[in-house]
Structure 1
Amino acid sequence: MGTSTTHNDTQHAKQLGNGTSETSASDIQLSGDELLLSADSEVTPTLSVVMPTLNEEGGIAQCIEWVKAALEDMQIYGEVVVADSSTDRTPEIAEENGAVVIEPDGKGYGYAYLYAFDNVRGDYIAMGDADCTYDFKELPKLLNMVRSGEADMAMGSRLEGEILPGSMPPLHEHVGNPLLTKFLNVFYGAGVSDAHSGMRVFTRDAWETMDCSSSGMEFASEMIMEAGAKDLEIAEKPITYHPREGEANLESFPDGWRHVRFMLVNAPGYLFSAPGFGLSVVGVLALVLAWTGLEIGGAQFGIHTGIGGGLLTLAGFQLMLFGAFSTVSSDPVRGASDPFTTWFTKRISLERGATIGSLVFLAGLAYGGYLAVTWVTSGFSALPIAVADVVATVAVVLGLQMVFGSFLLGSLSQ
């Protein structure tokens, strides 16, 4: 390559962008080989295509040829950046076919992308696996949506497109991917049909806005989570999913659990606050019914209802505290924004929370003391209403939770 190749690339770029005195730009048709830039080219690529590889010698050459075909179709300059951790001939084959090969200094699927994205030069970035499951000749329809401003990130949807026989296990196609997609849409408002499609195109600005950091397989989820949480526009086009070349590196259940775990811990509102609020409402309602003796449809609610309601109230309040703690102590993609968490983290200082908790604690203690005095003064003959004991106990415990929760929140906020 060297000086001659760099000079030719520059000349072609001038012709492609501005035309020449002899030939108009519309008459110029460069081949994919001419449009695929080397690492030392002075021409800035429009599109950078990133492929993480781990022993993909069976498919890498075909994938690069597909990228060349896409560049030729669009008549834009591009580069293929291969983030390689292989022990086979993958890097040699990639270089022979015109790719820029880099070796990440860390491990993991996500880290390979993070490392590569720091080394790309294009204004638009595409990503996809190098195992021939994604046909990179379909890149133009995704890039066009991003270049036109229709989307910040465009994704190829396998579930809305065609999945060729032998390309995806039925468990992934009908259970795993739809379920994980549903989680992402509910928790993060992604609004996509195939959240774990690996074929994506996005702007450099969108990538910087997403601010991803996961090094493992959950990186694919994190991109969608960050995009949804930060109101980036995501669009999809149907694509064809092909059988892979070579050995699969995906472990269905461990990798699936990593995605679910990552989604849950980054959405404390759904993991803690929402269930906690629901349990608290049911618990308080049960306590009130048991304490007041109200009947519904002839049904009476006694001590067992009161005990159950007390347990639900305490458990629900504790879960809501967990939601507040996790929102403050970590940096979740989607922090809890329910009224309790907002009130507890934004409006309640340590002193105010401890004061409120102390008042609830003292009220429960006073009510319990009143019940005890009533029992003693009756000569130990008139037992207090059992549900009243439960109410007093719940108030004492809630007060303690509030006091010590306020101190913990104060220490986490520092």
Structure 2
Amino acid sequence: MSISQEGQRVSSEAGETVHPSTPVTPTPLQQPQVSTDPALSDPVVTLVMPTMNEADGIADCIASATTAFEALGVPGEILVSDSSTDATPDIARALGARVVTPDRRGYGYAYRYAFRHARGEYVVIGDADTTYDFTEIPRLLTALQREDADMVLGSRFDGEILPGAMPPLHQYLGNPGLTAVLNLLYRSDVSDAHSGFRILRRDALEQLDLRSEGMEFASEMIMEATAKGLHIVEVPITYHVRRGEATLASFPDGWRHVRFMLVNAPGALFSTPGTVSAALGIAVVALGLTGVTPSLATVLLGSFLLLGGVHLVGMAFVVRATGRPIRAPNGPVMHWLGRLFTVERGLVVGATLAAVGVVPTLGLLSAPATLSAAGLVGLTLLALGGYVASVSLFVAALERR
């Protein structure tokens, strides 16, 4: 898909040129919930800005975006998703922007609400506090088309962060640390996962199942895009000093990002450590039982590792059955167990483990003053059997919902 200097759309699929004045019917997902001005030419690029009391910077942002549209030679629209109590929406309307008012607050929700009203073939997102220079939009759009990408991030860390633009805690610890965690858990490869300046193809945006309402929206977009196999590239940008009062709460918002990344990667949170713990537990129990003299302490340690590991793997099954995590637990072990699992097999395995554990456990009851390694193994097998059977029934019940 390319844009000519005459402001025409060229469809690579149909091979035909459609002038901006030709009406385009939005898909049901993107159907605007408010009427649009029919006098406006159908925009090629939509810039979406969420605002909450950004009267100090909104005019400059609109001016720089207008300059970018003129440089591209295409019709564009500026869509402000506003929750302000100051003059921000009045300034935006006076300068030609469309203003929509979300029915509830939240950084992520403001974007999601605005996306339903966006009409452009390409959607740019950016903050309205002058930290991003929207005259750089053509560079992002050029990279999107040249690399045949689905999303282009404006990378502050590959570009330049002007003095005073970002607190040292965010620049040297917060943003790099959160980006590293996201790259590790979701196998993405970006330098600035939390940059607020991005451009996406409209069809790529419609593939993302975006649900978050807060600041974790920035992470969710990358996580979703990576999980869906979308092509992401980065372009260096300059990050400027903001105008107006900052609204970011460093530690609460940082924790929201971390929590969101963890709960949407149950493989890394549950199944992988669970598998490792269970395998290690079996090895430690075997070591404690096969020595010249059985080691009660070693068997006890192995039992804890085994029980904890199986519990975590069970939790991964529960999460997969109850929710729709962005990165589902589909590693080799989970894939193998998922193919074999039925509620009947789970009950049989659970009953078998419990039955094997009954005899050594009865030995403990006959000599309650003595705790043997064999008796401890029996207790472990009883616990495992009960857990496997109960989780099997629980997951089966959840999957029927």
1:17–1:229 distance in 2 versus 1, CA, 3 Å: closer
* CA deviation map 1:354-384 (0-9, x unaligned): 1111011101113434x469xx7xxx7xx98
- The aligned counterpart of 1:338 is 331
- The aligned counterpart of 2:307 is 314
State the alpha-carbon separation in 2 of the partners of residues 253 and 16 from structure 1: 45
Shift, 1:201, TM fit: 0.2
Runs of 4+ in 1 over 6 A off after TM superposition: none
State the alpha-carbon separation in 2 of the partners of residues 342 and 185 from structure 1: 23
1:177–1:15 distance in 2 versus 1, CA, 3 Å: closer
1:39–1:176 distance in 2 versus 1, CA, 3 Å: farther
Using the aligned pairs only, state the percent identity: 46
- What letter matches 2:374 in structure 1? A
State the alpha-carbon separation in 2 of the partners of residues 309 and 15 from structure 1: 71
State the alpha-carbon separation in 2 of the partners of residues 328 and 179 from structure 1: 31
- What letter matches 1:81 in structure 2? L
- The aligned counterpart of 2:28 is none
Looking at CA atoms only, which structure, 1 or 2, has the larger radius of gyration? 1
The one of 237, 242, 245 aligned to 2:243: 245
The one of 348, 354, 358 aligned to 1:355: 348
2:86 pairs with 1:93 = no
Judge which range, 334-343 or 314-323, deviates more.
334-343
User: Quick check: 2:47–2:125 contact (8 Å CA) kept in 1?
Assistant: yes
Structure 1 gap ranges (5+): 1-12, 19-37, 295-299
Shift, 1:342, TM fit: 2.8
State the alpha-carbon separation in 1 of the partners of residues 5 and 288 from structure 2: 82
By percentage of residues, which structure has more helix?
A: 1
Shift, 1:339, TM fit: 3.4
* CA deviation map 1:309-336 (0-9, x unaligned): 1111101110110011001110100110
Report the TM-score, using the length of structure 2 for normalisation. 0.88
SS of residue paired to 2:305 = helix
State the alpha-carbon separation in 2 of the partners of residues 355 and 391 from structure 1: 19
- What letter matches 1:224 in structure 2? I
The one of 385, 388, 392 aligned to 1:399: 385
- The aligned counterpart of 2:199 is 201
User: Quick check: 2:165–2:240 contact (8 Å CA) kept in 1?
Assistant: yes
* CA deviation map 1:162-190 (0-9, x unaligned): 11111111111111111111111111122
Judge which range, 143-152 or 265-274, deviates more.
143-152
- The aligned counterpart of 1:71 is 69
- The aligned counterpart of 1:31 is none
- What letter matches 1:160 in structure 2? D
The one of 162, 165, 169 aligned to 2:163: 165
Alignment of 1:214-225 (within 5 A): 214-225=212-223
Shift, 1:15, TM fit: 6.2
User: Quick check: 1:368–1:389 contact (8 Å CA) kept in 2?
Assistant: yes
2:290 pairs with 1:304 = no
SS of residue paired to 1:73 = helix
User: Quick check: 2:143–2:235 contact (8 Å CA) kept in 1?
Assistant: no
- What letter matches 1:316 in structure 2? G
* CA deviation map 1:255-282 (0-9, x unaligned): 1111111111111101111111121122
Alignment of 1:117-156 (within 5 A): 117-156=115-154
State the alpha-carbon separation in 2 of the partners of residues 342 and 406 from structure 1: 16
User: Quick check: 2:67–2:135 contact (8 Å CA) kept in 1?
Assistant: yes
Report the TM-score, using the length of structure 1 for normalisation. 0.85
User: Quick check: 2:160–2:239 contact (8 Å CA) kept in 1?
Assistant: yes
State the alpha-carbon separation in 2 of the partners of residues 148 and 209 from structure 1: 21
State the alpha-carbon separation in 2 of the partners of residues 313 and 15 from structure 1: 67
Shift, 1:16, TM fit: 4.8
Shift, 1:42, TM fit: 4.0
- What letter matches 2:97 in structure 1? A
SS of residue paired to 1:82 = strand
Shift, 1:44, TM fit: 1.2
